Copies of this chain bind each other. A is one copy, B any other.
Amino acid sequence: MRLYNMHNSGNCYKVRLTAHQLGVPLDITHVDVLAGETRQAEFIARNPNGRVPLLELDDGRFLAESNAIIFHLAEGSPLIPQDAYERAQMLQWMFFEQYSHEPYIAVARFWFSIKPGGRAETTEAQRELWRTRGTQALEVMERHLTETPYFVGGRYSLADIALYAYTHAAHEGDFDLPPYPAIRAWLARVESEPRHIPMEAG
Protein backbone atom coordinates (compact mmCIF):
# COMPACT_ATOMS: atom_id res chain seq x y z
CA MET A 1 0.00 0.00 0.00
CA ARG A 2 1.10 3.56 -0.65
CA LEU A 3 0.68 6.54 1.67
CA TYR A 4 0.55 10.04 0.21
CA ASN A 5 2.27 11.76 3.07
CA MET A 6 3.39 15.08 4.53
CA HIS A 7 6.18 14.33 7.02
CA ASN A 8 5.18 16.86 9.71
CA SER A 9 1.40 16.36 9.48
CA GLY A 10 -0.01 14.73 12.59
CA ASN A 11 -2.83 13.24 10.53
CA CYS A 12 -0.26 11.51 8.31
CA TYR A 13 1.75 10.45 11.35
CA LYS A 14 -1.29 8.58 12.73
CA VAL A 15 -1.19 6.37 9.64
CA ARG A 16 2.57 5.73 9.76
CA LEU A 17 2.44 4.95 13.49
CA THR A 18 -0.53 2.59 13.16
CA ALA A 19 1.00 0.78 10.17
CA HIS A 20 4.37 0.43 11.92
CA GLN A 21 2.81 -0.94 15.10
CA LEU A 22 0.81 -3.45 13.05
CA GLY A 23 3.85 -4.43 10.96
CA VAL A 24 2.18 -3.27 7.73
CA PRO A 25 4.73 -1.93 5.23
CA LEU A 26 3.86 1.31 3.46
CA ASP A 27 5.40 2.88 0.39
CA ILE A 28 5.59 6.62 0.90
CA THR A 29 4.96 9.36 -1.65
CA HIS A 30 5.85 12.79 -0.31
CA VAL A 31 3.31 15.49 -1.07
CA ASP A 32 4.31 19.15 -0.72
CA VAL A 33 1.13 20.61 0.75
CA LEU A 34 2.69 24.06 1.25
CA ALA A 35 3.52 24.18 -2.48
CA GLY A 36 -0.12 23.43 -3.30
CA GLU A 37 0.35 19.87 -4.55
CA THR A 38 -2.87 18.66 -2.87
CA ARG A 39 -4.80 21.23 -4.92
CA GLN A 40 -3.42 20.12 -8.30
CA ALA A 41 -5.61 18.17 -10.72
CA GLU A 42 -3.51 15.01 -10.47
CA PHE A 43 -4.02 14.84 -6.70
CA ILE A 44 -7.68 15.94 -6.78
CA ALA A 45 -8.36 13.00 -9.12
CA ARG A 46 -7.17 10.71 -6.30
CA ASN A 47 -8.82 12.60 -3.43
CA PRO A 48 -11.50 15.14 -4.42
CA ASN A 49 -11.26 16.69 -0.95
CA GLY A 50 -7.63 17.60 -1.65
CA ARG A 51 -6.01 16.45 1.57
CA VAL A 52 -3.34 14.13 2.92
CA PRO A 53 -3.09 11.51 4.27
CA LEU A 54 -4.37 9.45 1.38
CA LEU A 55 -3.95 5.68 1.23
CA GLU A 56 -3.71 3.84 -2.08
CA LEU A 57 -4.53 0.17 -1.74
CA ASP A 58 -2.65 -2.47 -3.72
CA ASP A 59 -5.57 -2.71 -6.16
CA GLY A 60 -5.46 1.04 -6.87
CA ARG A 61 -8.46 2.07 -4.77
CA PHE A 62 -8.07 5.09 -2.50
CA LEU A 63 -9.06 5.89 1.06
CA ALA A 64 -8.96 9.35 2.67
CA GLU A 65 -9.44 10.78 6.20
CA SER A 66 -6.76 9.80 8.70
CA ASN A 67 -9.10 8.17 11.20
CA ALA A 68 -10.90 6.12 8.52
CA ILE A 69 -7.51 4.98 7.19
CA ILE A 70 -6.24 3.79 10.57
CA PHE A 71 -9.59 2.09 11.24
CA HIS A 72 -9.16 0.18 7.98
CA LEU A 73 -5.52 -0.76 8.68
CA ALA A 74 -6.35 -1.95 12.19
CA GLU A 75 -9.52 -3.99 11.51
CA GLY A 76 -9.22 -7.31 13.34
CA SER A 77 -6.22 -6.16 15.39
CA PRO A 78 -5.97 -5.41 19.14
CA LEU A 79 -5.93 -1.68 18.29
CA ILE A 80 -9.73 -1.87 17.91
CA PRO A 81 -11.70 -3.12 20.93
CA GLN A 82 -13.74 -6.26 20.34
CA ASP A 83 -16.55 -5.08 22.61
CA ALA A 84 -19.19 -3.13 20.62
CA TYR A 85 -19.63 -0.37 23.21
CA GLU A 86 -15.87 0.10 23.57
CA ARG A 87 -15.53 0.19 19.77
CA ALA A 88 -18.14 2.96 19.67
CA GLN A 89 -16.33 4.79 22.47
CA MET A 90 -13.14 4.58 20.44
CA LEU A 91 -14.96 6.22 17.51
CA GLN A 92 -16.44 8.80 19.91
CA TRP A 93 -12.92 9.94 20.84
CA MET A 94 -11.78 9.84 17.20
CA PHE A 95 -14.68 12.12 16.19
CA PHE A 96 -13.91 14.31 19.21
CA GLU A 97 -10.35 14.55 17.91
CA GLN A 98 -11.40 15.68 14.45
CA TYR A 99 -14.17 18.06 15.60
CA SER A 100 -13.10 19.51 18.95
CA HIS A 101 -9.29 19.10 19.02
CA GLU A 102 -7.62 19.11 15.59
CA PRO A 103 -9.32 22.28 14.25
CA TYR A 104 -7.75 24.27 17.09
CA ILE A 105 -4.61 22.48 18.30
CA ALA A 106 -3.38 21.27 14.90
CA VAL A 107 -4.47 24.39 13.03
CA ALA A 108 -2.70 26.69 15.54
CA ARG A 109 0.44 24.56 15.14
CA PHE A 110 0.21 24.82 11.35
CA TRP A 111 0.10 28.61 11.36
CA PHE A 112 2.59 29.12 14.21
CA SER A 113 5.18 26.42 13.45
CA ILE A 114 4.68 24.75 10.06
CA LYS A 115 3.86 27.45 7.51
CA PRO A 116 6.81 29.84 7.12
CA GLY A 117 5.69 33.30 8.24
CA GLY A 118 2.29 31.88 9.09
CA ARG A 119 1.90 33.50 12.49
CA ALA A 120 1.88 36.98 10.95
CA GLU A 121 -1.05 35.96 8.73
CA THR A 122 -3.30 35.04 11.67
CA THR A 123 -5.79 37.37 13.32
CA GLU A 124 -6.34 37.93 17.03
CA ALA A 125 -9.85 36.47 16.62
CA GLN A 126 -8.38 33.26 15.17
CA ARG A 127 -5.70 33.00 17.85
CA GLU A 128 -8.31 33.54 20.60
CA LEU A 129 -10.59 30.87 19.10
CA TRP A 130 -7.76 28.32 18.84
CA ARG A 131 -6.57 29.07 22.40
CA THR A 132 -10.05 28.85 23.93
CA ARG A 133 -11.33 25.78 22.11
CA GLY A 134 -7.97 23.99 22.19
CA THR A 135 -7.79 24.52 25.94
CA GLN A 136 -11.33 23.15 26.30
CA ALA A 137 -10.29 20.01 24.42
CA LEU A 138 -7.22 19.53 26.63
CA GLU A 139 -9.39 19.96 29.74
CA VAL A 140 -11.81 17.27 28.53
CA MET A 141 -8.86 14.93 27.91
CA GLU A 142 -7.25 15.72 31.28
CA ARG A 143 -10.49 15.02 33.13
CA HIS A 144 -10.90 11.67 31.36
CA LEU A 145 -7.26 10.62 31.79
CA THR A 146 -7.35 11.20 35.53
CA GLU A 147 -9.74 8.24 35.62
CA THR A 148 -8.22 5.85 33.08
CA PRO A 149 -4.74 5.10 31.68
CA TYR A 150 -5.89 5.03 28.04
CA PHE A 151 -8.95 6.54 26.36
CA VAL A 152 -11.02 3.37 26.02
CA GLY A 153 -11.33 0.20 28.07
CA GLY A 154 -8.07 0.73 29.92
CA ARG A 155 -6.09 -0.38 26.87
CA TYR A 156 -4.13 1.26 24.03
CA SER A 157 -6.33 1.72 20.94
CA LEU A 158 -6.74 3.87 17.85
CA ALA A 159 -8.31 6.54 20.07
CA ASP A 160 -4.92 7.01 21.74
CA ILE A 161 -3.09 7.14 18.40
CA ALA A 162 -5.56 9.68 16.99
CA LEU A 163 -5.29 11.96 20.02
CA TYR A 164 -1.55 11.51 20.53
CA ALA A 165 -0.67 12.79 17.04
CA TYR A 166 -1.31 16.48 17.70
CA THR A 167 -1.39 16.51 21.52
CA HIS A 168 2.29 15.59 21.78
CA ALA A 169 3.08 18.52 19.46
CA ALA A 170 0.64 20.96 21.11
CA HIS A 171 3.47 23.23 22.28
CA GLU A 172 4.09 24.06 18.61
CA GLY A 173 0.63 25.65 18.65
CA ASP A 174 1.47 27.61 21.84
CA PHE A 175 -0.34 25.22 24.20
CA ASP A 176 1.48 24.53 27.45
CA LEU A 177 1.10 20.98 28.76
CA PRO A 178 2.51 21.44 32.30
CA PRO A 179 -1.03 22.20 33.66
CA TYR A 180 -2.14 18.76 32.47
CA PRO A 181 -0.29 16.05 34.45
CA ALA A 182 -2.67 13.26 33.40
CA ILE A 183 -2.14 14.11 29.73
CA ARG A 184 1.63 14.17 30.20
CA ALA A 185 1.60 10.76 31.91
CA TRP A 186 -0.57 9.40 29.10
CA LEU A 187 1.80 10.78 26.43
CA ALA A 188 4.67 8.91 28.12
CA ARG A 189 2.51 5.77 28.29
CA VAL A 190 1.77 5.96 24.55
CA GLU A 191 5.46 6.48 23.82
CA SER A 192 6.33 3.34 25.78
CA GLU A 193 4.03 1.14 23.68
CA PRO A 194 5.83 -1.54 21.61
CA ARG A 195 7.05 -0.35 18.18
CA HIS A 196 6.28 3.32 18.88
CA ILE A 197 7.92 5.66 16.37
CA PRO A 198 8.24 9.45 16.62
CA MET A 199 6.64 11.78 14.06
CA GLU A 200 10.11 12.66 12.79
CA ALA A 201 10.57 9.07 11.59
CA GLY A 202 8.26 9.90 8.67
Using a CB–CB cutoff of 8 Å, the interface residues on chain A facing chain B are 48-49, 57, 61, 63-69, 71-72, 75, 84-85, 87-89, 91-92, 94-96, 98-100, 102-103, 123, 125, 140, 143-144
Contact = CB atoms under 8 A, between A and B. Distances in A.
A interface, over-half SS = helix
A29 to B, nearest CB: 19
Given A48-B143, A72-B88, A95-B95, 8 more contacts: A67-B91, A68-B95, A69-B88, A72-B85, A72-B91, A75-B88, A95-B98, A125-B125
Nearest to A123: B125
Contacts of A88: 63, 68-69, 71-72, 75
Given A48-B140, A48-B144, A89 B103 contact: no
Nearest to A129: B126
Contact of A89 (B49, B63, B66): B63
A65 B123 contact: no
Contact of A91 (B49, B71, B84, B102): B71
A66 B98 CA distance: 13
Contact of A63 (B65, B85, B94, B102): B85
Contacts of A94: 68, 95
Nearest to A144: B48
A99 B100 contact: no
Interface centre among A61, A72, A85, A91 (most CB of B within 10 A): A91
B96 A65 contact: yes
Contacts of A65: 91-92, 95-96, 99
